[in-house]
């Protein structure tokens, strides 16, 4: 798709449907003149930027609505173009009417994310900041909001730009050496280049390490509740959600399919998944549920393994070891302590924790909600422990892949320096690293890449 900036676009920028206020945004060379055609009040073209004006939207002699028009003149606007924002009453009929009047007067309907794309193309935002706008709009938790707002403020972009600028300086010196190849001169200090690339790779390693945490925060933490049938998985889900979300029955195999719901704990979104009990069965439908359970175990970030607390802790451990969970963060829950002799509960808890090397192991009563708060604290502690020491957290898969490609290219440069290869090959690998880093900020981009990013935006942003 060809990206043009010389026409004027219009879209509803508030959610569709009935509301107190709706806001219609125009951006482009004719945004102000088009608005002037349908607005009765002050002549907007002669007004100062960043001002708001009361008046009426008219269609011929008919008054459509009384409105407020916010005026932003280029380049002091979100898009870097002349922009007007018409705040009208929230009737869908009124907002649609005004948009049709704008189109009739020379605007066209904006594509998804086109306002933000224009902000990027006009240098108001870099590409990573533009992506953060979409993340900010879709944020549901404090942690998601914090990630998006930090990225939108440019801290991540500044770091990437600094890395690129340092590499560009060395790349230019290596290119200069190529121009004087017959004279066998070195303009680039190889020792300094090794030191620089080593430092950059260390920073990239920290950013890559932060991705597991950042992506989990962005998408929500998947937590699978697993165990044998009738040990209290569905009761536990209901206790965590504080509502009757899952059907509870004493009959084993009641949960045949995956049941999922979410809650926020300390500003972090957790996606709890109640799964079918794992056991040998000839029931075809139940077998399908067990297959889905195993799939959810693979996808889960955290496993809540639940079993009934019992005197013989070896039986609990033997059952736990049937599952290959050594690569997963797992919390073992010993349920039904209300039915167990109280003086034994903590001994079993400690024994299971020690012998499985799983901390925490928590004795609970899902039915009575006992120690559920302790479980919630343990969940947030597990996520906090994975947070990178870096002040910048990567949450975007595209950025993660670009950083990985840059790291690979830089390793080739280090290998080449160790082998004393010629400067033209070193320069080629540095250019690959520069290109990968440039993809994050948008200094290197293609129309296909931009279309892929911005098609997921809402129309009015």
Residue-by-residue pLDDT tens, the chain, 461 positions: 556 788 999 999 998 888 899 999 999 999 999 999 999 999 999 999 999 999 999 999 999 999 999 999 999 999 999 999 999 999 999 999 999 999 999 999 999 999 999 999 999 988 888 888 888 888 888 888 888 888 887 767 788 888 888 888 777 766 665 555 544 545 557 777 888 889 889 889 988 988 888 888 888 888 988 888 888 888 888 888 886 554 444 444 444 445 678 888 888 889 888 776 554 444 554 455 556 666 667 778 888 999 888 877 888 888 888 777 777 788 989 998 877 655 555 578 888 888 887 778 898 998 888 999 999 999 999 888 877 666 678 888 999 999 999 999 999 989 988 888 877 788 888 889 989 998 888 887 777 778 877 877 777 87
E-strand stretches of 60-99: 62-72, 83-90
Whole-prediction pTM? 0.74
The pLDDT value recorded for residue 345 is: 53
How many whole angstroms separate alpha carbon 175 and alpha carbon 195? Answer: 19
CA distances to 176, 178, 179, 186, 426 from 182, rounded to whole Å, are: 12, 9, 8, 11, 17
Q: How far apart are CA 172 and CA 412, in angstroms?
A: 18
CA 146/CA 335 separation, integer angstroms: 36
Q: How much is the pLDDT for 114?
A: 92
What domains can you pick out in the chain, each with its CATH number?
9-125 (3.30.1360.120), 136-215+396-442 (1.20.120.430), 220-385 (3.40.50.300)
Q: What is the pLDDT of residue 244?
A: 56
Beta strands in 249-300 (DSSP E): 259-265, 268-274
């Amino acid at each position: 798709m060809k990206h043009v900036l010389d026409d004027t676009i219009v879209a509803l920028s508030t959610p569709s449907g009935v509301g107190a206020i709706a806001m219609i945004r125009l951006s482009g060379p004719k945004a102000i003149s088009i608005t002037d055609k349908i607005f009765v009040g002050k002549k907007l073209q002669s007004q100062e930027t960043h001002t708001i004006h009361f008046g009426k939207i008219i269609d011929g002699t008919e008054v459509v609505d009384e409105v407020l028009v916010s005026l932003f003149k280029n380049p002091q606007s979100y898009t870097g173009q002349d922009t007007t924002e018409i705040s009208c009453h929230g009737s869908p009929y009124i907002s649609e009417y005004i948009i049709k009047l704008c189109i009739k007067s020379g605007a066209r309907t904006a594509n998804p994310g086109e306002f933000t794309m224009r902000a990027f193309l006009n240098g108001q935002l870099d590409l990573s900041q533009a992506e953060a706008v979409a993340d900010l709009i879709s944020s549901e938790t404090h942690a998601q909001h914090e990630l998006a707002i930090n990225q939108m403020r440019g801290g991540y972009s500044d770091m990437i730009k600094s890395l690129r600028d340092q590499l560009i300086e060395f790349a230019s010196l290596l290119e200069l050496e190529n121009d004087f190849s017959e004279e066998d001169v070195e303009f680039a200090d190889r020792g300094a280049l090794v030191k620089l690339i080593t430092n950059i790779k260390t920073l990239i390693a920290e950013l890559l390490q932060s991705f597991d945490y950042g992506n989990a925060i962005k998408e929500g933490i998947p937590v699978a509740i697993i165990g044998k049938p009738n040990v209290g998985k569905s009761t536990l889900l209901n206790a965590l959600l504080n509502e009757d979300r899952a059907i509870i029955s004493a009959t084993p195999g009641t949960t045949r399919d995956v049941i999922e719901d979410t809650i926020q704990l300390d500003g972090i979104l957790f996606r709890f998944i109640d799964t079918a009990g794992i056991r040998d069965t000839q029931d075809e439908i139940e077998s399908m549920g067990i297959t889905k359970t195993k799939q959810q175990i693979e996808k889960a970030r955290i496993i809540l393994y639940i079993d009934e607390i019992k005197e013989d802790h070896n039986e609990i451990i033997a059952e736990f070891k049937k599952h290959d969970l050594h690569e997963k963060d797992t919390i073992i829950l010993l349920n039904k302590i209300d039915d167990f002799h109280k003086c034994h509960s903590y001994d079993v808890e400690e024994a299971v924790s020690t012998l499985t090397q799983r901390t925490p192991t928590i004795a609970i009563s899902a039915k009575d909600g006992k120690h559920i708060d302790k479980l919630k604290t343990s969940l947030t502690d597990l996520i906090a422990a994975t947070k990178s020491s870096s002040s910048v957290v990567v949450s975007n898969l595209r950025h993660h892949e670009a950083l990985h490609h840059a790291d690979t290219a830089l390793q080739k440069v280090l290998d080449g320096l160790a082998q004393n290869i010629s400067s033209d090959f070193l320069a080629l690998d540095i250019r690959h690293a520069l290109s990968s880093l440039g993809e994050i900020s948008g200094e290197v981009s293609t129309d296909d890449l931009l279309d892929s990013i911005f098609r997921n935006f809402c129309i009015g942003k």
